[in-house]
Structure formats: C-alpha cells, structure tokens
Amino acid sequence: MNALATIQRQIQWNRLIAVVEEQAQTMIRTAFSTTVREAGDLSAGIFDLEGRMMAQAVAGTPGHVNSMAESVGHFLAKFPAHTMRPGDHYITNDPWLGTGHLHDLTVVTPAFRNGKIVALFANTAHIIDIGGLGMGPEGRSVFEEGLYIPIVKCFDQGRPNETFFDFLRAGSRTPVELEGDVYSLCACNDAGAKRLVEMMDEYRMESLDALAAFIFEASLRATEEAIAALPRGSFAAEIRSDGYEAPVVLRATMRTEERRILVDFAGTSGLSTRGINVPPAYCRAYSCFGIKCVVAPEIPNNWASLRPFEMIIPEGCILNAPRPYPVSVRHVIGQLLPDLMMGCLAQAVPERVNAEGSSALWNPPLRGGAQVSGQAAEVEDFEIITFNSGGTGARPTKDGLSGIAFPSGVRTMPVEATENVAPVIFWRKELRPDSAGAGRTRGGFGQIMEIGAKNDAEFAVNAIFDRVANPPKGRFGGLDGAPGWVGLDDPNGTVLRTKGFQVVPKGRHLVLKLPGGGGYGDPRARDPALVARDVANGLVSEEAARRLYGWAG
Amino acid sequence: MAPSDRPARVRLAADIGGTFTDVALEAEDAERSVTRWTAKVLTTPHAPELGVLEGVRVALARAGLSAADVTLMIHGTTLATNALIERKGARTALLTTEGFRDVLALGNESRYDQYDLNIELPEPLVPRRWRLPVPERLDNTGRVLRPLDEAALRAHIPFLRAEGIEALAIGFLHGFVNPAHERRAAEILREEWPELPVSLASEVSPEMREWERFSTTVANAYVQPLMARYLGRLEAGLREMGMGAPLFLMLSGGGLTTIETAARFPIRLVESGPAGGAIFSAHVARQRGLEKVLSFDMGGTTAKVCLIDGFAPQASRSFEVARVGRFKKGSGLPLRIPVIEMVEIGAGGGSLASLDAMGRIQVGPESAGAMPGPACYGRGGTKPAVTDANLALGRYDAASFAGGTLALDAAAAERALREHVGARLGLEPGMAALGVVEVVDENMANAARVHAIESAKSYEGRAIIAFGGGGPVHGYRVAEKIGVERILVPSGAGVGSAIGFLRAPVAYEVVKSLYTRFGRFDLAGVNALLAEMSAEAARTVAAGSFGAPTTETRLAYMRYVGQGHEIAVALPARPLTEADVPALRAAYDAEYTRFYDRPVPGSDVEVLSFAVTVSTVVEEVLPAAEVEDAPAPAPLRVQQVRDTATGEVSPWPVYDRAAMAPGARVAGPCIVAEDETSTLVGPGWSCRMDGLGYLELTKERAA
C-alpha cells in the first residue's frame, strides 16, 4: 500500500466513527422514551456484510457493547444480506438475539450504494415500556416480562409493517412513545447509511472490505500488544450480590496469555427464579468493558478489538441464563462484572485498577394510580424510571466520583423534568455524608433520595437494588463503602426488600440511601488537607475523620 | 482633520482576546462614506482596560480623531470566560431548596468519557460548604408545598459574612414557574446585607432543568463583582480620555446591550468575541448577497464553525464553558443563555500531532500555545504542530512567514514530524505532514458535518467565509471534504470580531418557560406571557437604541409529547388568535419533517418555552459592485508544495494580495500571501479579487 493510501485509510476510519456518532446523536434527538433521550441508554454501530462490527458510537452504554455486536449475525442468519432491499428495517427484542432483556429494541438496516448492499447499520435502545410486568425482577419466565418480538421486518422497502405496529401498540402501556421510538431507530440508521454512501462516493470505494480488513488488523494488533504488556498469570476473584431469593456469588478466574485474556466463570452461583438472570451476551458485554477500561481504553470497539477477550460461562450459572428464564433486570448482576474483572486485574496491575463501586444502577421504577390502588387511586396513572447512582470506587491516584454512573454510561434526568411527567415529588436528592469508603484515596459518596407521590398518595416501587447486604469493597487497605438502604420515612424506619414490587402507603415517602464507593490504600496515608476539605464540606463527620483518618482537627 | 470635516458618526469597537486586543474604528462623513482604521495591541491580563485604552488611542491617532469625536463605543471581552476557566471569580454562595444542596455537584450523574477511568469532572463554582439549604418547596405548577422558612434563611447570613462571601446566587426548585420565594429571599438579603450582589435563577435563566439553571445563576454571580469593577474602570478611563459616547457591550447572542444590563447579567457576555466573528461573517454574506454560508474561523488553538442562513447566525440557548476534558462535550459547566450556535474544536495552527496505539495520527486538542510554539518557531518545541506540517508541505516560505517577522526553522519541523509521526508509519516528513494536515482538515470537516446535521441544514450551494490565521490556509480542503465550491476570504480578517461588533444590532432576548399542549392550548396564558416578555425586551433595548426602529421576533420551543429535544418554531409578533393554533401545529410538523424526514403519527405537541427578541433594524448594505476583470499580478516567487489530496509535489506560484487589483484572477494551484495569513488556492480552484477587495475562490467543476 502506498503512503497516500495509508493515510486515506486512517481518514476513512475516522469518518466511520463520525458516522456512527451521528447515528447515535440522531437517536438521542428524536427518541421518545426518556431512557434513550435523557439517559442515553443506547448504542449504534456499522457492520460489514458478514455481521462484523466495524465501528461503534462512543455515546452509548457499555451493556450494549458486543451484545449488539453479536446480534447482527442473528439477523443475517434469518434474513441473508442478498434478500435485503433498500428501505427495509428489521427489529427484535429477543433477549438472546439482542441485548439481554425485552426492554431493549435492536433495529438493523441495510445500506445501499448504486443498488448494491454495502453495509449494515444497527442500533439498540432501552424503551420505557414493553407491557408485561414492567421493568422489575418479579417475572418467573421471560413470557411474563413483556411483549416478545422475534426478528421481523418493521419496514418493508420503506412501507411500515402495519400488522407489526398494531401488535406493538396493543402490547404496551405507552404505545405512542414506543411507536415513536421505532420510527426514531429506523431514522437514525438511515442517517448513518446516507453518510456512509457520501464517504464511499468521495473516495470512489466499491466496497468496505479493504477498509474493514485494515480496521480489524490495526485494532487486533494494538489490543494484542496491550495484552502482551500485562504480567502473565492466573488471577481469581469473587464478588457477592444480594441476589433475589438468596445471595449470589460471582466468581471468575482470569488468565492473561500472550495474545488473549481468558475468563472462566466456574464457581458462580446458579440461576435465580426471578428476573436477575444474565443472558451470556450481556455477561460478555460488561466483562469485556471492565477489562478494556483497564487494559486498552483508547482502542475503539469493533469486532477485532473485542475478539481477544474470551469468556467461558458454564451452563446453569446465573451468567448464562437460557430461554425462557426471566432476565428483565439482568443489569443488577451484570453491572457488577467490571468490579469482578478489576478484582482479577488488581493482582496483575494494581496501579491501574479502581476499588469496587456502587456499580449497579439504583433506578427505581415507580408506578402509581389505578394500577397500584385500583378505584381508590388518588393520582393519575403513571409509570416512570429515573437513573441514579451511588459512588464509584476510589482510583489509584484520585478519589472516586460521587453519585456518578459506572460502569453504566447513562445520565439521569432533572428532578423538575421528572416532576413534570409524573405526579411525584422528590423531597430530597443530595450527597450522603460518611458513605465513601475511606482510603488514601477515598471512594465517591452515595446519595440520599426521598420520593413521594403528589398529595402523599399511595404508590409503588418495583425495587431492583443491590449492594445492601454486600457493600462495595475497598482495595489495598482501603475501607468498604457504605451499604445501601431501602425503606420508608416512618418513625420506625421500616426497611423494604431490595428487590421486588412493594407499595409505599399513603402519607409515606420512599427513602433510598445509595452506596458509597470503596477506598484505595491506607486511610492514614491520606493528605490531611483533603480530609479537612471533606470535613468542612460536611461530607465526612469530624468523628469519622478522627477515627478513620486520624484527623487532628 | 479640520473641525469642519469632522465625521458625522464615529464608531469604535474593541475586542479583548487571549493574546491581542483588537480595535476597529469607522468614521462616516455626511455623504455616508465610511473609512476604517484598525489597531492591534497586546492584551494586558492584569488590567485589561489598559490594553483597550491603548488600542483606542492608537486607532484614534491613526484616524486623526480625538476621543470626543467618538459617537459610539462597543466592547467585547473574554474576561468572564477567563474568570470561569481560571477560577478567579468572587467567593460565591448559593441558597437553594433544602434537600437539593448538591445539584451542582451531581449534574446529570454521568461521565463524559466511557472508557477513561481517570476522568476529572469540573468542580462546582460554589463548594459544598457555601451551598446552603433553605426549607421551602414548590411543585411543578408553582404551588407552595412548603413555605419559605425566613428564619432559617436569616440564620445563614452570619455564616456567609464570616466566610467573606462576595456574591450570592439564589435558586429554588421550580422557581422559574413561581419566583415568589426567590424574590422574598432576595428582599431579606437586601434588608440585612444591601451591598451583597444577588443573582436570582428566575431572572438569570428562567427555564426548566435545575442543574443548568443553577449553574448559570451561580456563574453569573461568580463573575459579577469582577465584571462590575472592570466595566467601572473602563468607563472611567474612557471618560478621562474625553470620550462622552455611550458604551455598549457585545452579548454572546449577537446583540448589543447597555452597560447597566451587562452589569446585571454578565454571564451573557461570555462568548462575545466569537459572536463578533459570526456577525462579521454575516455582514460579509450580506455584502455579497450569499444566502447560505459557513463561517470558518481557525486560529492558533481552536477552530470555530457557524452556519449562517439569510444573513443571520443560528441562535441557541445552551452552551458549555470551561471544559476540563480535552474540549469534550459534557466536561464543562453548563450555561443556559442566548448564544450564537457554533461548534468549537481543538484544531488550530498550534495543535499537536501524535500517534495512538493503532498508529493513527491524532491532532489536538493539545496545543503548543505561544510558548514554546510549533517546532519551527525554534523556541524549544519538539512536537509537530499543524503549522510545522504546513511548512513541511511547502505551504509557507520560511523567510517571509508573518510578514518576515518570524523566521521558521524547516529542519526542526521535519525532525519533529519524522520523530513523532513518520518513523512508526514508514512515512517521509513530507507525507507525515500530509497525514497531519489531512487529519486536522477531516476533524474540522466532521465538526462542520455534525453541526449541519444538528441544524438539519446541508452544504449544497453554500459558501465558506474563511478567516483567522488558519482559515484561508485550510479552507479549500475543508470545502472539498464537505462539498462546498465557493470560498470568500474577506479583508480585515485579522480583526474580524471587532469589525463584527460594529455591525451588531442593539438587541435583547428574553426566554421563559411555560408549559402548554396543543390539545388544550392556553391561549390567554401564552399571550400574557409573550406580552410581558416583549415589554421586558423592548424596555432593555430602548435604553440603548435612542429611538432607532426595532423589530421583534418570537419563537416557541416545541416537541412531541414525551420527546426530549425541542425544535424552535417562529410565532407572529402579535397576540395569538384561535386561528394561529392549528397553523403553528402544522408549522411544527413541517419543521420536524425537515429535520427527520417524517412526522410521528398520533402524537400531541407540547410547548416548553418561548423566546422574544427585540432588536434594532440592521442597516441596509449596499450590494457590492461588479468589477471589470483586471490583469493578474506577477508572482512574488514559486514554492514547491505537496498537494494533500494526491500527495504530488509541484510548483505553486505565490502572489502578493496587496498587489492584486479588484477583478484580478489567478488560477490554482497557487498561494495568495498577506502578512497575517496565506490563502491557498488548491488545484482545480481559481481565485478572483472582488470589488470589496475580498478573495473569492471557486472550484471548477470539470477539474
């Protein structure tokens, strides 16, 4: 290849990444579900005709990484590329062919240039309602969790599949938003395809094969180099989740080899009867993300850069849920996997790994009105979810982040906006003092949230919270973060279960205390000026500062 | 100038930038013929007014005028922005709703980079110990759920005094719907502590979304004392010089305002320099009758692009200042104020190139700055900057760069390119330079593409107006990448923002939130709100328009119920009637379809907020006269230049811009050189000087 072509390949790769970013931004601007437009719970990418992901938008959430990447292959198995026509759009929410629960829609769209199919665009978005029990852990099989969409065409050569849309609307509590979201997903793939064709015209490219080969080769080589630089060995770690009916142990043994990292989840607990089970693609997604953040954060996601991370997930364990096990809230287990991976990597590269964090989102699904109180309802029907987070784990040279989503990449919505879409009042939402795990660098602080319905009416929460019985652990002498707490604002401090549907009685508020992140290193080695700052800011009590940090103030 | 020839109107504009303070002066005689003088002096960061006063003196001396002759003075400054970036504002406190003390710290609870475990988030301008809770609560309709606890509020005052607080922000949840609690709190503060400047969220940024609103209010309070002191000193300095003319300030939204309004809402001044650049472009577009242009301003550290349709830059309501993470979206402090919509990326002459783990060339946002500067400046820089790459491509003449004031070291540039880019990729310095320039051009083209998509605009039939030191150098290649076939390089581009100030109208925009749905449109409520907003905007403008005719525009920000992002739809500037409602709904669907191809069936539309702008009418511009063709000048020299599209090296003639006559045409590939920049005319392009002295580049289709 001559020098100019070398440079042009780079430019084209940059352009592809810009194209998928545009695709994602289009979705964020046009989507209806707050989960997409406010929270950014989505992903977008471009694939070659063999279903290999060439580029993925950096906007988006890691849980969709490589679960969406695997998904396109399933679409091609059912609808081979040569049968696709311009204007076709394909859709599914099958947890085992998509990204792990019925609330995620994946849409695949072929891109054509001069009548010839040249690539596929795919995206995934978490929509607000898909019928069934709603977002929560209570289902005992996937069939209770909502409307199940096999891989079908939602648009056929530009014409909407009205039968599909009829079923879709009939099966959701929020039909207008859901239909609008499907339109938005299709529009964003179209936007990507249009940009791609412009680039191919500019560089007179007949196919993407050569570019794909270049991207895959460079990404694989860089990833392998990053892996080769790690100490070789076998590193085991374990983490405990509160589980639903019983605590869950997640265990992993990671082997670093010359060109790959192999993770074996042997020893992990068995399946749950409730919706916290994790389909295997989702397990790979979050495990891969956790490793990649530490080992090769700057290498873009694509088929080749994800390939050197291999997972053995034994059958029958909670990380390899088979159909039709319930999987609705698989994130509550899945989002602990980066902490588990870092537990392994802490033995190989301690200076690059964080302490454990709150990790699993604290996203309370709230419901009220007749669906909770029947004819006694005192508020209009509502169904909302907000995305909130506790503290992240302390970093080797920096404190953890307070009330920040990690590993999930979602955003929360303003309280004012939430109160405008549903009859709820947030009475309190602020940082939780003394919740950060102490350390040379401390964890991030959790939050305290207190939520009621308007006029203090009855409402319900479909709890999906973790890290209550098993707080985030510190590393290398750092202390654990504060455990979470779920309960009511009554004088007895009534405690609620961490998982499952529960009614908050009239006159009461729901109180959530979100966990803090674990600390890193000996707290007594912490810079006293930083301790004093936290005390002055009312985030660390004087008593705790003296006891944990030896503060003399 | 003899007293009898005193010009009828003398207008002066000063723009304080990071390195230079630019002054432009225009004098208009009785026949309305305008003469312009400019001055460029070093910015004086410790006391910026000194640089302004010096620049004004220089410009007046050049024009042979005295300060007393000036009839209007316009000023823009980055002072507020710098204070926010450098954290040099006032000791600011925030009184806020109990239970919501940490809104500024929590933001939207997200990370702006998914994979970087070591990101830093911007520290709030107000530390937690100065964010004080007050018991009170309103619901989303403004109903009081919990009355304001005045005793609790008063109890905070001794602590604030003890802490030496210099400015105060007050922001309560839903306070934009019902400002009663914020106003009462301000009243109490005024009683107890009259000299403390207070900013109310319901006045600074009366829109939904507590984080953005509080952030804006706090930033306003934070820069207020500093700006008030500065404006006071400047005014005094100008008076001392003998200037009696009124002083106007440039707003980030592109209008001018009085010093009183500026002192109240100094946060609205943050982006005034770039706004001046956009107005400069809009004026050039108007002079040439170009309906659709892209303003492209590339300087030393950043490039700014801005779409201008119908001679008006696009307006936006949100902006991020003081980004901490490599210019990344989400890493700065959110501000919700009227601004000119533009995209700024870390791409300038000083941007540094390196290779990433995959051997991909990366350019910026790290910049060599003025010290040490690019490697070729010979001041100790060893990393290759975009300027080094341009030199290695043969685009600059080492001896005559910047009018010969700075001799460039070509060997140092090649060494830097070889070491940091070429060696690992097996590229000679010339090709490494090509890679660097192609990457930075692609980065700018990508930014321009995204900007167009976000605005649902296209580049078809659009012209680029290129200025700043790098704009004319990189313009033609960026144009090729986005499919633009015409570029204009105006004269005076070195002081473009200051000239832009002279073209800006006196204007003020009021934005307020009021929620309503088309299904049950609150006609009376909307009309009452618009009338009140219109009166407020008109009052603010009247203070500075001296009876000049004004025009009013009204916008409603709407979306399908449940959607997250609003689209602006124009409203008539009069009370709405029943008949307007369906027409507006239809206008929304049409606008939505323009953005996203198809409307969404079955969904109601909601209105979230309204904007009313009152503005003086922009002066008419005489159309530029056609000029006869003139002979091309002889080239100054010939340079061996590598073409970045093909990699081929060929001789490019270099012409002196000052030697070109209006009507002269030169064919690409060639370079038109001037002291402040060089205009590259790529292969297949030609360049003609128009009647205004602007260079017009056009791409020959057959090339």
Domain-embedded: residue B524: yes
Q: Which tokens hold the place of A539?
A: 């985030």
| B647: chain A residues, CB-CB within 8 Å | 3-4
pLDDT tens profile A366-410: 999 998 999 999 999 988 888 999 999 999 999 999 999 999 988
pLDDT of amino acid B3:
45
Q: Which residues of B touch A296 (CB under 8 A)?
A: 357
Q: Are residues B514 and B406 in the same domain?
A: no
How many residues can be counted in chain B? 703
The answer to whether A191 contacts chain B (CB < 8 Å) is yes
Strands B637-642 and B649-656: antiparallel
Instruction: Write the DSSP symbol of residue B418.
Output: I
Q: How far is the C-alpha of B35 from the C-alpha of B6, rounded, in Å?
A: 13
Question: What is the per-residue pLDDT across A293-348, written as a single tens digit (0 to 9) for each?
Answer: 999 998 988 999 999 999 999 999 999 999 999 999 999 999 999 999 999 999 99
Overall average pLDDT of the B119-126 stretch: 94
Selection from B686, B415, B541, B603 nearest residue A184 by Cα? B603
* B64: in domain: no
Asked whether residue B523 falls in the same domain as residue B607, the answer is: yes
Burial A507-540 (b: 16+ CB within 10 A, else e): ebbbbbbbbbbbbbbebeebeeeebbebbebebb
- Chain B: residue whose CA lies nearest to A29: B565
Query: Which of B408, B407, B270 lies closest to B337 in space, CA to CA?
Result: B270
Q: Select from B389, B424, B439 the last residue of a domain.
A: B439
Considering CB atoms only, which of B100, B565, B595 is closest to A429?
B100
In contact, B281 and B465? CB cutoff 8 Å: yes
Q: Among A29, A58, A358, A361, which would you mutate to test the B interface (most chain B Cβ atoms within 10 Å of its Cβ)?
A: A29
How do residues A471-517 score in pLDDT, each as one tens digit? Answer: 999 999 999 999 999 999 999 999 999 999 999 999 999 999 999 99
Q: Are A181 and A33 in contact (CB under 8 A)?
A: yes
Query: Does the pLDDT at position B335 exceed 90?
Result: yes
**pLDDT of amino acid B96:** 98
CB B165 within 8 A of CB B203: no
B-proximal residues of A, 125-164, CB under 8 Å: none
Rounded CA separation A31/A38 (Å): 9
ipTM here = 0.94
Torsion-angle region of residue B29: left (phi > 0), alpha (psi -120 to 50) or beta? beta
> pLDDT tens digits for B688-701?
999 999 999 999 86
Of B108, B118, B598, the CB nearest to A412: B108
CA angle B640, B643, B647 (to 5 degrees): 105
Q: Do A420 and B361 touch (CB under 8 A)?
A: no
Domain-located, residue B578: yes
**C-alpha to C-alpha distance for B416 and B389, rounded to whole angstroms:** 9
Tell me the per-residue pLDDT of B543-565, one tens digit each, with 9 for 90 and over: 778 788 999 999 999 988 766 67
Q: Would you state the pLDDT for residue B4?
A: 47
What CATH number has the domain bearing residue B589?
3.30.1490
Which residues contact residue A80 at a Cβ distance below 8 angstroms, ignoring those fewer than 6 apart?
A: none
Q: Is residue B641 part of a domain?
A: no
Q: At A548, which amino acid appears?
A: L
Contacts of B139 in chain A (CB under 8 A): 419, 425, 454
Q: Does residue A40 belong to the interface with chain B, where contact is any CB pair within 8 Å? A: yes
- Interval A275-286 mean pLDDT: 95
- Pairing label, strands B637-642, B605-616: unpaired
Tokens 């199919």 correspond to what residue? Answer: A117
Number of H helices, E strands in chain A: 14, 19
From B420, B439, B458, give the residue that closes a domain.
B439
Tell me, yes or no, whether B203 lies in a domain: yes
Average of per-residue pLDDT across B331-336: 93
Asked which of B413, B439, B465 is the last residue of a domain, the reply is B439
Judgement on whether residues B91 and B224 belong to the same structural domain of the protein: yes
Distance from the B131 Cα atom to the nearest Cα atom in chain A, whole angstroms: 9
Shared domain check, B118 and B223: yes
Confirm or reject contact between A538 and chain B (CB < 8 A).
yes
Give the DSSP letter string of A113-169. Answer: ETTEEEEEEEEEEE-S--STT-SSS--SSGGGSS----SEEEEETTEE-HHHHHHHH
Dihedrals phi, psi of A103, to nearest 5 degrees: -75, -10
Total domain count for chain B?
3
Per-residue tokens: A506: 């009239």
* Whether the Cβ atoms of residue B653 and residue B670 lie closer than 8 Å to each other: yes
| End-to-end C-alpha distance for chain B, whole angstroms | 52
> Which residues on chain B are in Cβ contact (under 8 Å) with A359?
none
CA-CA distance, B216 to B621, in Å (whole number)?
A: 36
Across the interface, do B563 and A34 touch by the CB < 8 Å criterion? no
Which whole number is the average pLDDT over A515-540? Answer: 97
Distance CA(A460)–CA(A496), nearest Å, equals 12
State how far the Cα of B244 lies from the Cα of A351, in Å rounded to an integer: 64
In which domain, by residue range, is B607 found?
507-616
pLDDT band of B2, cuts 50, 70, 90 = very low
Spatial distance between the Cα atoms of B284 and B621, rounded to a whole number of angstroms: 10
Cis peptide before A407 (omega within 30 of 0): yes
User: Which chain A positions have a beta carbon within 8 Å of B442's beta carbon?
Assistant: 11, 14-15
Say how far apart CA B629 and CA B317 lie, in whole Å: 45
- Tens of pLDDT, residue by residue over A25-56, are 888 877 877 777 777 788 899 999 999 999 99
Average pLDDT on A246-251 reads 97
Chain A residue numbers touching B481 (CB-CB < 8 A): 202
Residues in chain B with CB shorter than 8 Å from the CB of A14 are: 360, 439, 442-443, 446
Residue A501 burial (10 A CB sphere; 0-12, 13-18, 19+): middle
What is the average pLDDT value for chain A, to the nearest integer? Answer: 94
Query: Do B100 and B196 reside in the same domain of the chain?
Result: yes
Chain B: residue whose CA lies nearest to A12: B442
Please name the residues between 414 and 443 in chain A that touch chain B, using a CB distance below 8 Å.
414-417, 419-421, 425-431
The domains of chain A are located at 3-219, 354-553
Sort out which chain A residues have CB atoms less than 8 A from B358's CB and list them. 218-219, 221-222, 299
CB contact under 8 A, A414 and B209: yes
What integer pLDDT is reported at residue B491 of this predicted model?
87
The verdict on a CB contact (< 8 Å) between A293 and B115 is yes
Residue B454: is its pLDDT beyond 90? Answer: no
Q: A292: nearest CA in chain B?
A: B115
Q: How confident is the model at residue A167 (pLDDT cuts 50, 70, 90)?
A: very high
The C-alpha atoms of residue B48 and residue B496 are separated, in whole angstroms, by 20
Q: Reduced to 3 states, what is the DSSP secondary structure of residue B439?
A: helix
CB-based contact (8 Å) between A402 and chain B?
yes
Q: What is the identity of the amino acid at A1? A: M
* Model pLDDT for residues B185-194, shown as the tens digit of each residue: 999 999 999 9
- The alpha carbon dihedral of B455, B459, B460, B461 has a sign of positive
Given a cut of 60, whether residue B489 has pLDDT beyond it is: yes
Query: Mean pLDDT, to the nearest integer, of A236-253?
Result: 97
Q: Select the residue of B145, B438, B450 nearest A7 (Cβ to Cβ).
A: B438
Where is A256: in which H helix or E strand? strand A248-256
Query: Would residue B67 count as lying in a domain?
Result: no
Closest residue in chain A to residue B212, using alpha carbons only? A414
